[in-house]
Structure 1
Amino acid sequence: MSALPWLTLSTIIWLQAIAGTNTDFPAYSSELKSRLHITQFKLNNLAVASDAGKLLGWCAGLAAKRLPLWAVPAIGAALGAVGYGVQFLFFCRKITSLSYTQFFFLNVLNGNSICWLNVTGYRSVMRQFLRKDHGAVIALTTSYMGLTVNIYLALAQVIVGRKNAVSDKSVYLLLNAVTPAAVALLVMPTVAAMREKPRDVKAGLVIMFVIAGVTGAYAVVDTMVPAVRRSSGIWPATVLLVMVAVVIVVPVWKVGEWVIGRGREEERDGGDVEGGGKKAEETAVEAYKISNTGAIAVLMVFMSVSFFLLLSSRNACLFVSTAIIGLGSGAISSIAVSVSSELFGQENFSVNHNIVISNIPIGSFLFGSIAALIYDKGGVEGGRGDRLCFGMECYSKTFIIWGCICSFGTILSFVLYSRTRNSFVSRRR
């Protein structure tokens, strides 16, 4: 039944949307800093520890080749439930003592759990959709990862109320432990079922991309207009959660098509000649299309400029730069999945891609350490022995260094593009 791949895609979107559990770390990091009595530098290392878990992401890739695919999200959810569950008990004072080192390794476990959930999404897409559609489908699913922090904030407000979500930070750790497990239970039966790969996905993807675009726009507006959120209670959070769930309309629509039975399969089978002509034409909407590595290079240019634009004290520059950096990093994350497949093939994709994204913990440690060291050096002693820093003086040097590093990355991106563009063009031909 053609609706099953779309049902799988919907559940994978939900899984990707809640997979980035480390993105809500800022929501409870201040209280964590106070509870553990650590400096900003050590707090940054805890954030890096979550990214460091991705260094072992290749384990999820190997497991995905040898285990049933439904077992992969189950393992990832279990790892996160243990890591965040223990931290939740510490915040609730059910565990009276938890050292900094123990907290560090729990964060490594949490970060690794994300890899298992992401591998499930990538493998499911590659198994349930034709190769020509992988790029668009993967881009769609990974785009929802940018909503993770908004979703957890919304869940916290809906479940315990806005005031309690602000005062009781432990709710985020509880949600990080429970939510992936609940969604994994929805994903497991859909990825386990066998189904035919859909041939015509254009209409379904257009609907899903429209839903994703509207949902993302709403999340941005909700974030940038806090006055509306304060005056509307939990309704903005509820609306966001409903909009994320709305992707289920596509498989429902496909079920309707299947029940009505319009005979589209027969029409497609009789139009092989026309289809062949379209395929040749598309091979010729692709020879002129910019490659994925070229797109990364262009995005890196804008991100580099944005870091230097942050040196301005104007609020407009802050909003524009943050938006560009967020959009750029999100787009690169989506494109990188297709690049890994194009450069190294799909046979060992799960392992290869998890090796490629080992740059995340490296970059997290490098960029975060630079920011934390400059912050602690420029701050003044606070009431609890920590150092506090405010204003552009605390971050101007950080933005300059980040901009220079990003500019160097831009040069490397253009080198990669120049070395791979010919092979991609010949492959399309």
Structure 2
Amino acid sequence: MGFQRSISSSSALKWLGFVTAVWVQSISGNNYTFSNYSGALKSLMNLNQLELNNLSVAKDVGKAFGILAGLASDRLPTPVILLIGCFEGLLGYGVQWLVVSRTIQPIPYWQMCIFLCMGGNSTTWMNTAVLVTCIRNFRRNRGPVSGILKGYVGLSTAIFTDLCTALFSNDPASFLVLLAVVPFAVCLTAVFFLREIPPASSAAEENEETRYFTIFNIVAVVVAVYLQSYDIIGIKTGVFSVAFASILLFLLASPIAIPFHSFIKSLNYGEQDDLEGRIQEPLLRSEIAAAEKEVIVVAAVAAEEEEKKRKKPVLGEDHTIMEAVLTVDFWVLFVSFLCGVGTGLAVMNNMGQIGLALGYTNVSIFVSMTSIWGFFGRILSGTLSEYFLKKAGTPRPLWNAASQILMAVGYILMALAVPNSLYIGSMVVGVCYGVRLAITVPTASELFGLKYYGLIYNILVLNLPLGSFLFSGLLAGFLYDAEATPTPGGGNTCVGAHCYRLIFIVMALASVIGVGLDLVLAYRTKEIYAKIHASKKSKKSGGSLS
């Protein structure tokens, strides 16, 4: 009976940890909200577009120091990593609030860059703690885990934006208070529950995981539709706004029912099977022990023979960071990731200025739309890629290739400035950027293993500051300033479709390059995905027979 209770507690704690991980991801997309307060910084500090874009680059450069979080993930417990992230975010966004709220005088440009960098880096600690822990806890359902967690990161921008609009009339200073305080409070909660727990060891447990992940997906879709409805309705004042915020918080809290259900179900199962377990346990244990011993001996002999044949790991095995970066596949994945997230991040960082250039006065709706549709890209690609991997062994990089094709089409539409192109572009860029993030996370773990996954993931995330610098800081900044006219006080402005046309064309070409690289990677990894497919299929058959 004690053994059954131990299992039930472990299962419930694993799901409780995943719920808190979802909450952390719901508030860790603050890096994508720069457009919501960039206008205030630009006017207060009298910046031109290039200087403003370099501030957004500084924010993204914080992700480059995510390597520190990756190194720490193999040495420090999850709670410590979360604490580092939440305190760093409190300081980084707290100082930005002091400036925007005019509590203090605007600080020097280089100091603002440092605090933006700190705010950006804080999310790498949160994301690393959450992703590494959850991928290890649910290692046979990596696609859904990645899709759900990255999906909530995508929704977080809309959550912050809509809550600020509902409660504070979209005030930039109030928005920065949310960015500073809410992640701090949520991470302190996760510190107590997010732990590494042994993954599922039977087909029955895996089936239970699949059912629970389906519930998480349904709740996430309801949240996304609810946020989008709020943007479309447009009633954002008074009692309606308070009711909206209350219902949103209830929806975000609702997944807490899953660990409670898991705990009660496991307890009931343990009570029903207690007598049978007492009678059969000695025999079963002896049989299992003998079988396990035989498997271990055979595996050890096979491993020893294989080690003699080769020294370097092959795809699908654990790679150290040096072994990974010396492979062609790592750099194909790295550069294709750059083509996708770099261009997408440039659009998100410049969404405020793009909207103003095309004549829109309220650009917050485009920021929110990019976030919500990014969620759909993340959650659908995670679930669908896992389904087709189990069904037909479809390589995950093919989904990246498909998203890059769609992204290139979106950039062309925005370059042509067809009617409502910014609405279409916001949705397309959001979906495709979401697919990129959700697919690359499990792909890296499947190709290079889980042992050093925290560090490998953060090496790939270097594409965020690199892409922001290349496509937002350099490309968008220089080409916008070339088209803009100076304004009194040292800034500049540009109105018209020509402001960003060349920028969109260059990013469309980069997306086409990304398509080619994704197809190459899909071809090179088709054998490892065939093995993963066969493994999943055989385990499912074994579970059915037993």
Q: What residue in structure 2 maps to residue 279 of structure 1? A: none
Q: What is the rounded CA distance, in whole Å, between the counterparts of 1:91 and 1:246 in structure 2?
A: 34
Q: What residue in structure 2 maps to residue 87 of structure 1? A: 96
Aligned 8 A contact 1:3 1:252 in 2: yes
Between 350-359 and 306-315, report the one with greater CA deviation: 306-315
Letter in 2 for 1:357: V
- TM-score, normalising length: structure 1: 0.88
- TM-score, normalising length: structure 2: 0.70
Q: What residue in structure 2 maps to residue 399 of structure 1? A: 504
Q: CA deviation at 1:143?
A: 0.6
Q: What is the rounded CA distance, in whole Å, between the counterparts of 1:196 and 1:373 in structure 2?
A: 50
2:193 aligned to which of 190, 196, 202: 190
Structure 1 unaligned segments of length 5 or more: list them: 271-281
Q: What residue in structure 2 maps to residue 345 of structure 1? A: 449
Q: What residue in structure 2 maps to residue 275 of structure 1? A: none
Between 188-197 and 101-110, report the one with greater CA deviation: 188-197
Aligned 8 A contact 1:162 1:233 in 2: no
Between 42-51 and 381-390, report the one with greater CA deviation: 381-390
Letter in 2 for 1:300: Q
CA spacing shift, 1:422–1:213, aligned 2, 3 Å: same
Q: What is the rounded CA distance, in whole Å, between the counterparts of 1:69 and 1:210 in structure 2?
A: 28
Q: CA deviation at 1:155?
A: 3.6
Q: What residue in structure 1 maps to residue 50 of structure 2? A: 41
The answer to whether the aligner puts 1:255 opposite 2:260 as a matched pair is no
Q: What residue in structure 2 maps to residue 273 of structure 1? A: none
Letter in 1 for 2:129: T
Q: Taking every aligned residue pair, what percent have the same amino acid on both sides?
A: 30
| Matched residues, number | 412
Q: What residue in structure 2 maps to residue 286 of structure 1? A: 390
CA spacing shift, 1:49–1:195, aligned 2, 3 Å: same
Q: What residue in structure 1 maps to residue 375 of structure 2? A: none
CA spacing shift, 1:261–1:425, aligned 2, 3 Å: closer
CA spacing shift, 1:194–1:338, aligned 2, 3 Å: closer
The answer to whether the aligner puts 1:336 opposite 2:343 as a matched pair is no
Q: What is the rounded CA distance, in whole Å, between the counterparts of 1:149 and 1:347 in structure 2?
A: 31
1:391 is paired with a residue of what secondary structure?
coil
Q: What residue in structure 2 maps to residue 371 of structure 1? A: 476
Q: What residue in structure 1 maps to residue 78 of structure 2? A: 69
Q: What is the rounded CA distance, in whole Å, between the counterparts of 1:421 and 1:196 in structure 2?
A: 26
Q: CA deviation at 1:385?
A: 3.7
Q: What residue in structure 2 maps to residue 241 of structure 1? A: 249
Cα deviation 1:37-82 (Å, max 9, x = unaligned): 1111111111111111111111111112111211110011111112
Q: CA deviation at 1:378?
A: 1.5
Q: What is the rounded CA distance, in whole Å, between the counterparts of 1:16 and 1:402 in structure 2?
A: 28
User: Any residues of structure 2 matched to 1:311-326 within 5 Å, and which?
Assistant: 311-326=415-430
Q: What is the rounded CA distance, in whole Å, between the counterparts of 1:118 and 1:258 in structure 2?
A: 30
CA spacing shift, 1:426–1:206, aligned 2, 3 Å: closer
Q: CA deviation at 1:98?
A: 1.1
The answer to whether the aligner puts 1:115 opposite 2:127 as a matched pair is no
Between 102-111 and 228-237, report the one with greater CA deviation: 228-237
CA spacing shift, 1:4–1:400, aligned 2, 3 Å: same
Q: What residue in structure 2 maps to residue 126 of structure 1? A: 135
The answer to whether the aligner puts 1:359 opposite 2:463 as a matched pair is yes
Q: CA deviation at 1:264?
A: 8.2
CA spacing shift, 1:127–1:49, aligned 2, 3 Å: same
Q: CA deviation at 1:141?
A: 1.1
Between 309-318 and 189-198, report the one with greater CA deviation: 189-198
1:390 is paired with a residue of what secondary structure?
coil
RMSD between aligned residues:
2.8
1:28 aligned to which of 29, 37, 46: 37
1:189 is paired with a residue of what secondary structure?
coil
Aligned 8 A contact 2:66 2:124 in 1: yes
